């Protein structure tokens, strides 16, 4: 029996980072999802109410990739009080030809963070206006930082804005982003100001009430809403979703149960079948056609992204040290 490589989070941080190669791989994953042949079961979710915990399992088979991931994402919300992160987890890479275990990635959610950010980059690549002067993020966590870095890869904006409920965290996030992106990043006074001044906005919060309303929308705005990934979460008001000229899902079946589409449908809006990001990547559906359009991309996170990043890591490991040197992402 061959040895199964088991990588720690530290080793994974050395091996893979948020870069164009990863974004390209994730874009290929969306293309494959649109092309058919992908097998992606519904997300399994188990609540452990006694400990304010939940665990999600995602997987997908993507034709053309030698392996597929089983991704385990626990979220335990009393952890921070014990000095532990809420979100942890691991991925297992299995051979798509034999089912044999190829690698175990004890990433504590690092690969999930990266593949989620990379999907934001794909959304920006295909939906944001060609020119973005200012990009704003609502949220101040790891993913807010990564999403701004992802957007910057595709649209090298000149100013950044951050807003969060906790101003101290927003100040820290803005300072971190200013340092990593090498541009000025300010704290917005409120969501209204942030949206008004930005051409690209990412929402990256666990909010259960809408943060962006229809009144805040303006010509030439793209929003990537990546916070909602459970039935009770929402960041965009149903009327705002309906007011956009183009609303795009990562996966319709997930967005209508876990994403922004759920609340909109519950409000009697958005009853038509929206396009998926992969269809736009593949050119099967037209994306942004005018710099003045308002576009919204709803990202719930797919098993395809997990399989793609696990295969990407395996390729990186097989190829030796990462081209870009050690990664320092989150």
- Footprint of its own copies (CB under 8 A): 1, 4, 6, 8-10, 39-42, 44-48, 50-51, 53, 55, 57, 59-61, 63, 68, 70, 72, 74-76, 79, 82, 84, 88-90, 92, 94, 96-101, 104, 106, 108
**Min separation Cβ 212 and its own copies, Å:** 30
Rank residues 57 and 171 by Cβ distance to its own copies and give the closer one.
Answer: 57
| Rounded distance between C-alpha atoms, residue 236 and residue 119, angstroms | 18
CA distances from 110 to 27, 93, 153, 255 (A): 19, 15, 19, 23
All residues at 6 or more sequence positions from 319 whose CB lies less than 8 Å from its CB, including other chains: none
Rank residues 50 and 272 by Cβ distance to its own copies and give the closer one.
Answer: 50
**Min separation Cβ 4 and its own copies, Å:** 6
CA distances from 145 to 92, 170, 252 (A): 26, 11, 26
Treating both helix axes as pointing N-terminal to C-terminal, what angle do 303-318 and 110-127 enclose, rounded to 10 degrees?
A: 110
| Rounded distance between C-alpha atoms, residue 162 and residue 210, angstroms | 17
**Min separation Cβ 308 and its own copies, Å:** 16
Tell how strand 134-138 and strand 6-8 pair up: unpaired
- Exposed e or buried b per residue across 139-165, where buried means at least 16 C-beta atoms within 10 angstroms of its C-beta: bbbbbbbbbbbbbbbbbebebbbbbbe
Rank residues 24 and 54 by Cβ distance to its own copies and give the closer one.
Answer: 54
Six-digit token string for 26 = 């994730």
Other CB atoms within 10 Å distance of the CB of residue 220: 18
Angle CA 309–147–243, to nearest 5: 115
**Min separation Cβ 94 and its own copies, Å:** 6
Rank residues 62 and 181 by Cβ distance to its own copies and give the closer one.
Answer: 62
Identify the helix (H) or strand (E) that includes residue 145: helix 142-154
**Min separation Cβ 56 and its own copies, Å:** 10
Rank residues 54 and 239 by Cβ distance to its own copies and give the closer one.
Answer: 54
Rank residues 62 and 223 by Cβ distance to its own copies and give the closer one.
Answer: 62
Rank residues 113 and 235 by Cβ distance to its own copies and give the closer one.
Answer: 113
Identify the helix (H) or strand (E) that includes residue 273: none
**Min separation Cβ 1 and its own copies, Å:** 7
Rank residues 47 and 266 by Cβ distance to its own copies and give the closer one.
Answer: 47
**Min separation Cβ 327 and its own copies, Å:** 17
Whether the Cβ atoms of residue 327 and residue 17 lie closer than 8 Å to each other:
yes
**Min separation Cβ 302 and its own copies, Å:** 13
């Amino acid at each position: 029996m061959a040895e199964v490589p088991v990588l720690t989070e530290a080793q994974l941080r050395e091996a893979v980072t948020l870069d164009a190669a990863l974004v390209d791989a994730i874009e290929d994953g969306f293309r494959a999802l649109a092309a058919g042949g992908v097998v992606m079961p519904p997300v399994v979710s188990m609540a452990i109410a006694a400990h304010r915990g939940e665990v999600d399992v995602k997987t997908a088979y993507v034709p053309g990739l030698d392996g597929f991931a089983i991704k385990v994402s626990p979220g335990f919300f009393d952890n921070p009080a014990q000095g532990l992160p809420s979100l942890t987890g691991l991925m297992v890479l299995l051979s798509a030809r034999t089912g044999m275990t190829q690698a175990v990635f004890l990433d504590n959610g690092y690969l999930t963070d990266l593949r989620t950010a990379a999907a934001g980059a794909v959304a920006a690549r295909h939906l944001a206006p060609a020119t973005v002067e200012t990009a704003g993020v609502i949220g101040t966590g790891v993913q807010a930082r990564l999403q701004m870095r992802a957007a910057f890869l595709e649209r090298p904006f000149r100013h950044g804005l951050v807003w969060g409920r906790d101003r101290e965290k927003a100040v820290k996030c803005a300072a971190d982003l200013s340092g990593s992106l090498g541009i000025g990043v300010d704290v917005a006074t409120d969501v209204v100001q942030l949206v008004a001044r930005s051409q690209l906005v990412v929402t990256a919060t666990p909010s259960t009430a809408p943060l962006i309303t229809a009144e805040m929308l303006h010509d030439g705005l793209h929003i990537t809403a990546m916070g909602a990934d459970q039935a009770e979460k929402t960041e965009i008001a149903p009327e705002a979703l309906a007011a956009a000229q183009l609303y795009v899902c990562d996966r319709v079946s997930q967005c209508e149960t876990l994403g922004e589409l759920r609340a909109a449908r519950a409000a009697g809006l958005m009853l038509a079948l929206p396009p998926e990001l992969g269809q736009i990547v593949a050119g099967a559906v037209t994306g942004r056609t005018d710099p003045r359009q308002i576009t919204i991309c709803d990202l719930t996170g797919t098993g395809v992204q997990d399989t793609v990043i696990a295969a990407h890591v395996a390729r990186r490991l097989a190829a030796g040290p990462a081209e870009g040197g050690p990664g320092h992402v989150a």
